[in-house]
């Protein structure tokens, strides 16, 4: 019985740590929002929702976003900064606070 309680507690803590992160992004002069939902494993940008998984190639932390064969690595750095390449253009993001 104790094992079941510990497992349930551990699962509850793991779920509580998942979060939603909002970023304001800039691509040239255009601004847009990116929303990363770690609970649903999704990234939403410009009206498109991509499925995500942890990206191994990001320096600090990030996700590989993909939908219908289109994908990119959304990589974070320190102090809420993130970036990614899309269609040959660099998109730079700051975490919305």
Domain ranges of the chain: 19-95
* Confidence at residue 37, expressed as pLDDT on a 0 to 100 scale: 96
Whole-model pTM: value is 0.77
Per-residue model confidence as pLDDT tens for the chain (97 residues): 444 333 434 444 444 456 999 999 999 999 999 999 999 999 999 999 999 999 988 988 999 999 999 999 999 988 889 999 999 999 999 998 8
Tokens of 22: 């909002």
Long-range contacts, 72-78 (Cβ 8 Å, 24+): 74/34, 74/36, 74/43
């Amino acid at each position: 019985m104790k094992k079941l309680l510990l497992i349930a507690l551990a699962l509850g803590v793991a779920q509580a740590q998942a979060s939603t992160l909002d970023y304001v992004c800039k691509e040239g002069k255009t601004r847009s929002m990116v929303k990363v939902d770690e609970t649903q494993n999704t990234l939403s940008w410009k009206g498109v929702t991509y499925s995500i998984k942890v990206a191994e190639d990001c320096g600090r932390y990030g996700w590989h976003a993909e939908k219908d064969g289109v994908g990119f690595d959304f990589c974070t750095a320190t102090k809420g900064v993130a970036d990614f390449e899309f269609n040959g253009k660099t998109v730079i993001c700051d975490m919305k606070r």
